Structure 1
Amino acid sequence: MTSPVHHATREFSRVALVTCDLFPDLWEDDHPLRDDLRARGIEVDAVRWDDPAADWPSYDLAVIRTPWDYVPRHTEFMAWARRVPRLLNPADILEWNTDKRYLGELARAGLPVTPTGFVAPGATWTPPAEGEWVVKPTVSAGSQDTGRYQLPAQTALAEAHVARLTGAGRTAMIQPYLPAVAELGETALIFLPDETGDLSYSHAIRKGPMLRGPGEGARDPGDEQIDPRTPTDAERRVADQVLTAVPGGTKRLLYARVDLIPGPDGEPLLVELELAEPSLFLSSSPAATTRLADAIAARL
């Protein structure tokens, strides 16, 4: 363990931007943040979360960015997060947010969440009679292991997908496919710390559809269409409501992303609340890069 003297005598601050071996030099969208921090005289390293040589106590702050290979090693990832001092977002938030069963918790709290059913290992699933449905595991990233199915024509495929997930000891989740995503896209609202240290709205983007079609899987992360977007008043209200439900409050968070799609009545529904390792689309907002770097510097 690094001694307090080491931190006290060091003339510069050190920040680890946490990644994985898929992006050893970080995802390109995080390069502006890295460069901004370095311009402030802060030493910044891109460090794999599972690097056995990483000296986590030597960093003044470890910021989760792109550890996107954690899904099949979720237990190992969470054990790592609990060992890292000065981790943002904190480990208990990662544990809550990396399992999408939190959507059920938010729905029970009365928030407008995309209707979601869950099928635990060993449980049986009765498919809906008709409609277009999305099947995916509750622990996933980048639409991994996700399928979109038209029922009843593809009921057998959907059932096989659910069985495949639960048979591997994973919990499956089933949601209606929201057709508004094809025309209007998905609105991702990004929240960063303000001058008070609490999260407030920063910027938003439009994401095009991720799922290619029934049974065809999802686009690779980074391949979807991304455009700047001004959220509606309704989207701002829903996003604010969702953030009030974050366990422990938002003041201890470094970032949050709220993903919304219009439901059948046109009102925004929560698709995901991203607190673990979201793309923040900093390349589309230089002001957001500065704001996030300010927040990191303040935490140091």
Structure 2
Amino acid sequence: MTDHHQSTRGEPRVALVTCTELRDLDPDDRLVLAPLARHGVTAEPAVWDDPAVDWAGYDLAVLRSPWDYALRRDEFVAWAATVPTLANPADVVRWNTDKRYLAELSAAGVPTVPTSWVAPGESWQPLADSGEYVIKPAVSAGSQDTGRYDLADPEHRELAVAHVRRLSAAGRVTMVQPYLRAVDSAGETALLFLAGPDGLAFSHAIRKGPMLTGPDLGVEGLYKPEEICARTATEEQLAVAEKTLAAVPGGAERLLYARVDLIPGADGAPVLVELELTEPSLFLGHAEGAPERLAAAIRTHLDRRP
């Protein structure tokens, strides 16, 4: 096997952590390879659950696209704890891979989408007889096992109950949220932050169009393809993002990257949908200079090593 320990004598070596399905990295992540090389950093993909990888041999392991972890979250969190130099850190991974962190952020004063939680074994019935709601597991990647339900429709009500029951039977915590209709017009805004000399700094923002089209029936084709375009973040959005990052346990200054996903709430003010600190798409291809900024952030992390 390649001797990764040579990095202590020459160029630092970085693992870009991925999954078997994306063994050669997601195309967006490949954009950082050339800028890293210009920073004197050798980077290569490494599959998180490949037992042949010598994680201790890398100067830094950067979580990028290990998107198959959702149904193996305990295994993934345990693996993260064994990686000596992981970005973002293992304790952040443990906290951020269970979306019940939203309740903590809400308690800290961050405006979040109202969320109720259904533990495995608990019975659940819709409390309202109208309105649209989103049901999804507290541990998930992308929009897997996620559905949108119109509770005025008797069939949707039955499907919503069945969705919660299905997740519960699998031992998964369910989250129930009102569907914020502004996403249909304004879309979702993702604000990207990357590490700099003085901590996380805003890099760029993108707009994501609506994806959920209906109930989760356990089949493909329930979601629209992602519609991504560049977006200019507003001062109000940036303020919510900063407040969110200030509430991260252990401090946001340790982070290599963060993605703050916002949607206009009922009053039009931005509310947090998700805080992505583990394996977010960074949408490097949608902002000029973003790959170079990520490479510089990785170089900054490397230069902080003892």
Compute the displacement of 1:285 (Å): 1.9
> Which of these residues, 270, 273, 281, is aligned with residue 272 of structure 2?
270
Describe how 1:94-173 pairs up with structure 2 within 5 A.
94-129=93-128, 130-153=130-153, 154-173=156-175
Partner residue, 2:42: 43
Give the conservation status (yes or no) of the 8 Å contact 1:210–1:219: no
User: Aligned pair in 2 of structure 1 residues 278, 134: CA closer, same or farther (>3 Å)?
Assistant: same
Secondary structure of the residue that 1:174 maps to in structure 2?
Answer: strand
Secondary structure of the residue that 2:21 maps to in structure 1?
Answer: coil
Partner residue, 1:199: 200
Render the CA deviation track for 1:88-123: whole Å, top value 9, x for unaligned.
000000110010000011112221100000000111
Compute the displacement of 1:236 (Å): 1.0
Secondary structure of the residue that 1:286 maps to in structure 2?
Answer: coil
Secondary structure of the residue that 1:202 maps to in structure 2?
Answer: strand
Describe how 1:64-75 pairs up with structure 2 within 5 A.
64-75=63-74
Partners of 2:222 and 2:261 lie apart in 1 by 18
Compute the displacement of 1:55 (Å): 0.6
Partner residue, 1:62: 61
User: Aligned pair in 2 of structure 1 residues 89, 106: CA closer, same or farther (>3 Å)?
Assistant: same
Partner residue, 2:227: 225
Compute the displacement of 1:41 (Å): 3.1
Matched, 1:251 2:261: no
Give the conservation status (yes or no) of the 8 Å contact 1:261–1:269: yes
Count of matched residue positions in the alignment of Structure 1 and Structure 2:
297
Render the CA deviation track for 1:200-226: whole Å, top value 9, x for unaligned.
211000001121234467879993000
User: Aligned pair in 2 of structure 1 residues 222, 240: CA closer, same or farther (>3 Å)?
Assistant: farther
TM-score normalised by structure 2 residue count: 0.92
Partners of 1:222 and 1:134 lie apart in 2 by 15
Secondary structure of the residue that 1:25 maps to in structure 2?
Answer: coil
Give the conservation status (yes or no) of the 8 Å contact 1:212–1:218: no
Secondary structure of the residue that 1:65 maps to in structure 2?
Answer: strand
Range 79-88 or range 230-239, more displaced: 230-239
Q: Identity over the aligned pairs, expressed in percent?
A: 56
Gaps of 5+ in 1: none
Partners of 1:222 and 1:200 lie apart in 2 by 31
Render the CA deviation track for 1:171-203: whole Å, top value 9, x for unaligned.
00000001111111000000111232x002110
Secondary structure of the residue that 2:252 maps to in structure 1?
Answer: coil
> Which of these residues, 254, 260, 263, is aligned with residue 261 of structure 1?
263
**Which residue identity is paired with 1:211?**
L
Partners of 1:40 and 1:150 lie apart in 2 by 51
**Which residue identity is paired with 1:116?**
T
Gaps of 5+ in 2: none
Partners of 2:222 and 2:74 lie apart in 1 by 24
Secondary structure of the residue that 1:46 maps to in structure 2?
Answer: strand
TM-score normalised by structure 1 residue count: 0.94
Compute the displacement of 1:43 (Å): 1.6
Partners of 1:218 and 1:201 lie apart in 2 by 35
**Which residue identity is paired with 2:30?**
H
Give the conservation status (yes or no) of the 8 Å contact 2:196–2:300: no
Range 210-219 or range 22-31, more displaced: 210-219
Give the conservation status (yes or no) of the 8 Å contact 1:143–1:218: no
Range 94-103 or range 126-135, more displaced: 126-135
Partners of 1:107 and 1:30 lie apart in 2 by 31
Partners of 2:183 and 2:139 lie apart in 1 by 22
Partner residue, 1:239: 241
Render the CA deviation track for 1:15-68: whole Å, top value 9, x for unaligned.
000000111110000111122112333221100000110010110000000000
Partners of 1:157 and 1:220 lie apart in 2 by 14
Secondary structure of the residue that 2:290 maps to in structure 1?
Answer: helix
Give the conservation status (yes or no) of the 8 Å contact 1:211–1:218: no
User: Aligned pair in 2 of structure 1 residues 138, 207: CA closer, same or farther (>3 Å)?
Assistant: same
Partner residue, 2:283: 281
CA RMSD in angstroms comes to 2.1
Partners of 1:293 and 1:222 lie apart in 2 by 31
Partners of 2:151 and 2:166 lie apart in 1 by 18
Give the conservation status (yes or no) of the 8 Å contact 1:212–1:219: no
